[in-house]
Structure 1
Amino acid sequence: MSSLGSLPLPVSTDSDPLRDPALYINRELSQLDFNFRVLAQAMDPQVPLLERLRFMCISCTNLDEFFEIRAAAVRHAQEFGLPPAPDGMSPQAILNAIHERAAELVDQQYRCWNQTLRPALMEAGIGVLGRNSWTHRQKRWLRAYFRNEIMPVLSPLGLDPVHPFPKILNKSLNIVVVLKGTDAFGRSGHLAIVRAPRSLPRIIQLPEKLGGPQNFVFLSSVLSTFVDELFPGLEVLGAYQFRVTRNSELVVDEEEVENLALALRDELVDRGYRPAVRLEIAHDMPRDIVRTLLQNFGLTENAVYRIDGPVNLNRIIQLYDLIAQPDLKYPPMTPRTLRDSDGIFETVARQDLLLHHPFDAFAAVLDLIRQAALDPNVLAIKQTLYRTGKDSLIVDALIQAARAGKDVTVVVELRARFDEEANLGLADRLQEAGVQVVYGVVGYKTHAKMLLIVRREGRKLRRYVHLGTGNYHSGTARAYTDLSLITADADIGNDVHLLFQQLSGLASKMKLKRLLQSPFTLHTGILARIERETRIAAAGRPARIIAKMNALNEAQVIRALYAASQAGVQIDLIIRGACTLRPGVPGVSDNIRVRSIVGRFLEHSRVYWFGNDGAPELYCASADWLERNLLRRVETCFPILDPALAKRVYREVLQNYLDDNLNAWELDAEGIYHKRAPAHDEAPHSAQMALMQGL
């Protein structure tokens, strides 16, 4: 590996033509486009039926999060008059474009459900029954269910001067009811709101005696049908479901609070009632009711989405676990396990260990931590935790190690989005067991995935390190593609030691020998390596860059890639989600190709490969090439030093994915993705399938 110091950085000026907004795709719209690719999996008849259902629900859940975070950030930019993004679009223009594109996605989601998946489920003997298809017996049973199980927990609220519009929880199911008549106190009926508590199941399974073992009904259908029972003596003229999505980004001024954990707990209390960003309504809701809702939520027309079906369509994912038909799901995959007769420390002491999840079992990482907890020669364990999952075996092992008298330090990122509450509880649990818990760095999320074990071996101390591209989460390790490196390399061990010292001890910036680190050397390191390939190409020699990541939007990196392309560098980018770089622009990005792979597993590994004039460098990382990851987070990027392992990563993660012609989508200069298909002389190739079959 060459030293960073020998690599000059590119210099740009304000007059740089590579800053032209026409060369950039809007990040929000690119992120939305990813969900169209996910939804395409739901429409693919080659995918098992319940997996297609799962992909549809993933697209719905992703869209929820998009509005909670990305669209909310654009509204914030609009309110505060922030400048346009590199693509030149103003916040208002972005919001308008979001509404148009998201409305198209919503329309496709409900057509997928109503016209494709719901009929296909019915053919497979699985009924998701609408109100118009209930038999007399089914309706009688559902009425009894409503009276006994649902009505006792409902608290309908009539709207009048004494009862103003209620607070509506983020993404909750609600029914607005139009009433006629006069109640017992002489009050005239007009509008009422019925909120469905989170305690109620959103999918109700009918008894087998009512038509079969696999018939289901949406809670929203039951509420709409029997809502009249909540208003005796009044006539129900209409009942219309709605759901509001709110800004879910927590805002804590970390430099102004004395205790981050307490501040986050306070923020979490109000998260469900922050400003609204989207309103989903029944397709037949009258205009006057829509105006009332918009007024109460402080929204405009470009936040409204009329839908043809349940507003909480993603709740149908419950069927995936309720239906016991293996033939409707992907066949189970048995990951490779580490054959380790000597113990993992002895194995790693001899050679580095590389794991490609989920094709290699995550159990090896669990075993490393468990053995460290039990080994009397292990003196200290240090680890970062971003997302861990419920009932984590890793956390159990860390607690066991602390109780055994080992020095255990854990950097818990309290601000991991949507895991804040879980991580607060995790931090409390670790501290109660005697673990030293660090909350990271003010202003910088700790997104790095690293584990350091200090072990006494004879008269010396030896460091064992795990570095990964994914979280320490057994669940996602089965569903995401990620890479793990376990090594006893002295230089890497010392670098990781310095990083933990920096995170926990407020140490100054440190010089690392092997690792690149955000927010200090990763950004400049990437730019320097791109510039090196540019110089090699300018000298007339072959130059190439291949990078795989989840997203790309950092403008300086994109400009460097454009300059490299202009010099003749061949660049292949495998980017799962948002990409603001525009490939194939004549004279600018002719030599850049961008593809996205969407398949059974969520692509999550980050790998960067630089040709380096015949002496290639290969890095794995926790970071995407996003502005936030490179400049505002703590991230790690680590080299694969063993030549055999580097070749394996190149073969499995880069070349294998470049050869995919079944699950790949290619991005053109107009910002449009096209599904790849095998040419007439090409054999079909799925990268993920090849890995499941042992490549």
Structure 2
Amino acid sequence: MNAPAKNHPADMLADSTDPLRDNSLYFNREIGQLDFNFRVLAQAQDPQVPLLERLRYLCISCTNLDEFFEIRAGTLRHAQDLGLAAGADGLSPATVLARIHDRAAELVQAQYECWNNVLRPALGEAGVRVLHRDAWSEAQTAWLRGYFQDEIMPVLSPLGLDPAHPFPKILNKSLNIVVVLKGKDAFGREGHLAIVRAPRSLPRIIQIPEEVSGGKSDFVFLSAVLSAFVDELFPGMKVKGAYQFRVTRNSELLVDEEEVDNIALALRDELVGRGYLRAVRLEIAEQCPDDIVRTLLENFDLTENAVYRINGPVNLNRVIQVYDLVQRQDLKFPLFQQRVLPGIEAMFDKVAEGDVLLHHPFDAFTPVLELIRQAAEDPNVLAIKQTLYRTGKDSPIVEHLVQAARNGKDVTVVVELRARFDEEANLGLADRLQEAGVQVVYGVVGYKTHAKMLLIVRREGRKLRRYVHLGTGNYHSGTTRVYTDFGLITADPDIGADVHLIFQQLSGLAPLIKLKRLLQSPFTLHAGVLKRIDRETKHARAGKPARIIAKMNALNEPQVIRALYQASQAGVQIDLIVRGACTLRPGVPGVSDNIRVRSIVGRFLEHHRVYWFANDGAPDLFCSSADWLERNLLRRVEAAFPVVDTDLASRVCDEALTNYLADNVNAWQLAADGSYRRVVREENTAPHSAQAMLLAKICG
């Protein structure tokens, strides 16, 4: 078996004689990821979607944009500083950053137009009002003034800027008000500018009591309250203007794992300063004077192309609190009951009878929780091994693992500390598990452990039997209710042996291993995907039917893309269902005219990864934790697992592939020019929503 690849795939693009390496055949990943948020925003603009759900989509697009700047834009600026070369698309980091600004500005404008002109008025008509300052009644103004004096002002520390009070540190994505003052304070100091920082403890959305609002559901942004009463913080001075602003900082933690003795300690140190890393974006009130904007830019070491002038609250995503506070089921998606498989009170017996396939969120996560709980209590269970990437707060899985350790089981957990934005939670998780006697492993230096695996070793008579759960999504009870994912529970001996070897490799610095059923990054998954694409190519060249269908979150790995181009040229019919960024350019004559790319954006976040290869009548199907991205295929520990049971494999194919290719409600088609266009339902064709079909079929 080969060792993991050390060369970045882009390093192999120097061969200009290969026409499939032409830069024009590759879209830029960052732009593609940014464009995904236009498809999310389209859900907020769709009148067929319930009103509060439209609000939720708007907030998701805003939160996604925040994370995009924190990670992708921040990483690009770092790459620009280091003088790194362009990728497969041939665009330098500086060029991509310039395009990001223009495209992000379009998105921001569309978001605020949606909020100001569509959703806010529509919510008001539905009895859910998010009020402008000029719409406050006398009673509301009086109540808000009292709220400001009693609840807000005591925790504020306004800072006047002068030589003794330099510009303060501004926390990433925090709400701030820059105040223009005139007059002198008690010490005779001339007022000019002051900064008011809103502490994290303050709610960003304030609900006005119904008795004050006449029985209505009325809300106000904290930023509006701060601006309205900010003069009370500066008695004796005149407030000439108050302008909200927010700075976004690079949040990618850079820990040189080869140079640290303890990655947990190194991460703890890095997390302390994460909120004050390099600034990448400044959001400022639209009417803020230019000289103040220049002052802020100078302080944050930013240029004009990092400024976004905002017509509304700079933290628009915080209006998501209204979704939770308003109990109006008529304005939300209909409730549904997840299917709970029968027989889960005896999970080992159920799995011994045959493999169990779970399709979340339509199938409940309960069987997985029950499997771990029963393993923790079963005296015949000797060992439990599990990977944890994201678990969520108060995870029942963690409680079961702790109980298993207390009951004398040998429990080993691979905790990935570098799960982005969950680093602090995972450090706490690791501490909790270790205190309970669980053996905690932090994975492999240089390779995030992203595989979703659970292994239970149970004594049955004179033999030991392995029970395994493998999934495409995290062990997070919350996301299993809103993400589409597959989970497989099996006692297949070969799969169990493979998972056992991977755990040994992760925890014991084991040598290269040979797996029977699973494909594993960074060793065999990349090569395994290329091998299967090549096999379809050979079938097509031999005149045999050949087809590939793959579903994933993102695609950018150059070698895989070139292999798909070659397959298309040979006549292989290829359908890719890619939720987010796709750098492959479909529909190019003579290159990718047999490749179609679609994106589904609906009620649930599309998250499962499924690869299907026709294989001359003997279909080859894998589910996986890995997208076809460079990082997943070459720089992470990932697993792709076959669904061996033919009936279950057919179910995966029908529910996650054929079903989604038939979607004419929530589907978008990627064109050769890089644009996405909604799939238009043909005349006399019934509407087909893949997610709605699964809700009806599985949840009834």
Using the size of structure 1 for normalisation, the TM-score is: 0.98
Question: For the residues of structure 1 that align with 2:366 and 2:504, how far apart are their CA atoms?
Answer: 28
Query: Deviation digits for residues 392-420 of structure 1, max 9, x if unmatched?
Result: 00000000000000000000000000000
Alignment correspondent of 1:631: 634
Question: For the residues of structure 1 that align with 2:346 and 2:139, how far apart are their CA atoms?
Answer: 62
Q: How does 1:142-541 map to 2 (within 5 A)?
A: 142-211=144-213, 212-340=215-343, 343-541=346-544
Query: Deviation digits for residues 95-142 of structure 1, max 9, x if unmatched?
Result: 110000000000010011111110111011111000111112211111
Pairwise CA distance, 1:681 = 2.6
Pairwise CA distance, 1:546 = 0.2
Question: For the residues of structure 2 that align with 1:219 and 1:336, how far apart are their CA atoms?
Answer: 41
Q: Which of 87, 90, 102 in structure 2 is aligned with 1:100?
A: 102
Question: For the residues of structure 1 that align with 2:185 and 2:591, how far apart are their CA atoms?
Answer: 71
Alignment correspondent of 2:60: 58
User: Is the contact between residue 344 and residue 367 of structure 2 (CA under 8 Å) also seen in structure 1?
Assistant: no
Letter in 1 for 2:483: Y
| SS across alignment from 2:549 | strand
CA 497–313 in structure 1, closer or farther in 2 if over 3 Å, else same: same
Pairwise CA distance, 1:531 = 0.7
Pairwise CA distance, 1:213 = 3.9
Matching of residue 671 in structure 1 with residue 674 in structure 2: yes
| SS across alignment from 1:314 | helix
| SS across alignment from 1:693 | helix
Question: For the residues of structure 1 that align with 2:94 and 2:411, how far apart are their CA atoms?
Answer: 49
Question: For the residues of structure 2 that align with 1:614 and 1:459, how far apart are their CA atoms?
Answer: 41
Alignment correspondent of 1:7: none
Letter in 2 for 1:176: V
Question: For the residues of structure 2 that align with 1:588 and 1:209, how far apart are their CA atoms?
Answer: 66
Query: Deviation digits for residues 259-294 of structure 1, max 9, x if unmatched?
Result: 111111111100000000000000001000000000
Question: For the residues of structure 1 that align with 2:543 and 2:684, how far apart are their CA atoms?
Answer: 33
Matching of residue 79 in structure 1 with residue 105 in structure 2: no
CA 139–676 in structure 1, closer or farther in 2 if over 3 Å, else same: same
Alignment correspondent of 2:5: none
Question: For the residues of structure 2 that align with 1:43 and 1:624, how far apart are their CA atoms?
Answer: 29
Alignment correspondent of 2:24: 22
Letter in 1 for 2:500: H
Question: For the residues of structure 1 that align with 2:280 and 2:227, how far apart are their CA atoms?
Answer: 25
Pairwise CA distance, 1:607 = 0.1
Pairwise CA distance, 1:77 = 1.1
| SS across alignment from 1:255 | helix
Pairwise CA distance, 1:189 = 0.7
Question: For the residues of structure 1 that align with 2:306 and 2:149, how far apart are their CA atoms?
Answer: 35
Query: Deviation digits for residues 558-613 of structure 1, max 9, x if unmatched?
Result: 01100110010000000000000000011100000000000000000000000111
| SS across alignment from 1:694 | helix
User: Is the contact between residue 16 and residue 22 of structure 2 (CA under 8 Å) also seen in structure 1?
Assistant: no
Letter in 2 for 1:473: H
| SS across alignment from 2:680 | coil
Question: For the residues of structure 2 that align with 1:339 and 1:92, how far apart are their CA atoms?
Answer: 56
Question: For the residues of structure 2 that align with 1:342 and 1:666, how far apart are their CA atoms?
Answer: 44
Alignment correspondent of 1:560: 563
| SS across alignment from 1:61 | helix
Alignment correspondent of 1:44: 46
User: Is the contact between residue 344 and residue 370 of structure 2 (CA under 8 Å) also seen in structure 1?
Assistant: no
User: Is the contact between residue 249 and residue 280 of structure 2 (CA under 8 Å) also seen in structure 1?
Assistant: yes
| SS across alignment from 1:47 | coil
CA 79–342 in structure 1, closer or farther in 2 if over 3 Å, else same: closer
Pairwise CA distance, 1:14 = 5.0
Question: For the residues of structure 1 that align with 2:148 and 2:341, how far apart are their CA atoms?
Answer: 53
Letter in 1 for 2:44: A
Pairwise CA distance, 1:374 = 0.8
Aligned residues: 688
Question: For the residues of structure 2 that align with 1:559 and 1:163, how far apart are their CA atoms?
Answer: 57
Structure 1 gaps, min length 5: 5-9
| SS across alignment from 1:102 | helix
Question: For the residues of structure 2 that align with 1:422 and 1:184, how far apart are their CA atoms?
Answer: 46
Q: Which of 576, 588, 598 in structure 1 is aligned with 2:591?
A: 588
User: Is the contact between residue 626 and residue 638 of structure 2 (CA under 8 Å) also seen in structure 1?
Assistant: yes
Question: For the residues of structure 2 that align with 1:275 and 1:608, how far apart are their CA atoms?
Answer: 39
Query: Deviation digits for residues 156-202 of structure 1, max 9, x if unmatched?
Result: 11111111110000000000001111111121111110000000110
Question: For the residues of structure 2 that align with 1:592 and 1:67, how far apart are their CA atoms?
Answer: 31
Question: For the residues of structure 2 that align with 1:149 and 1:341, how far apart are their CA atoms?
Answer: 49
Pairwise CA distance, 1:341 = 6.6
Letter in 2 for 1:19: R
After TM superposition, the structure 1 stretch with the greater mean CA deviation from structure 2, 277-286 or 252-261, is 252-261
Query: Deviation digits for residues 234-257 of structure 1, max 9, x if unmatched?
Result: 111100000000000011111111
Percent of pairs with identical residues: 76
Query: Deviation digits for residues 356-376 of structure 1, max 9, x if unmatched?
Result: 001111001101101111111
Question: For the residues of structure 2 that align with 1:498 and 1:38, how far apart are their CA atoms?
Answer: 40
Question: For the residues of structure 1 that align with 2:143 and 2:335, how far apart are their CA atoms?
Answer: 37
Question: For the residues of structure 1 that align with 2:516 and 2:16, how far apart are their CA atoms?
Answer: 34
Question: For the residues of structure 2 that align with 1:244 and 1:366, how far apart are their CA atoms?
Answer: 41
Pairwise CA distance, 1:441 = 0.4
Question: For the residues of structure 2 that align with 1:621 and 1:187, how far apart are their CA atoms?
Answer: 64
User: Is the contact between residue 466 and residue 491 of structure 2 (CA under 8 Å) also seen in structure 1?
Assistant: yes
Query: Deviation digits for residues 287-332 of structure 1, max 9, x if unmatched?
Result: 0000000000010111000010000000000011100111111111
Pairwise CA distance, 1:342 = 6.8
Question: For the residues of structure 2 that align with 1:206 and 1:645, how far apart are their CA atoms?
Answer: 52
Question: For the residues of structure 2 that align with 1:194 and 1:407, how far apart are their CA atoms?
Answer: 53
Question: For the residues of structure 2 that align with 1:403 and 1:342, how far apart are their CA atoms?
Answer: 22
Pairwise CA distance, 1:209 = 2.0
Question: For the residues of structure 2 that align with 1:691 and 1:192, how far apart are their CA atoms?
Answer: 55
Q: How does 1:612-691 map to 2 (within 5 A)?
A: 612-691=615-694
Letter in 2 for 1:509: L
Alignment correspondent of 2:6: none
Pairwise CA distance, 1:340 = 0.3
Letter in 1 for 2:485: D
Pairwise CA distance, 1:15 = 2.1
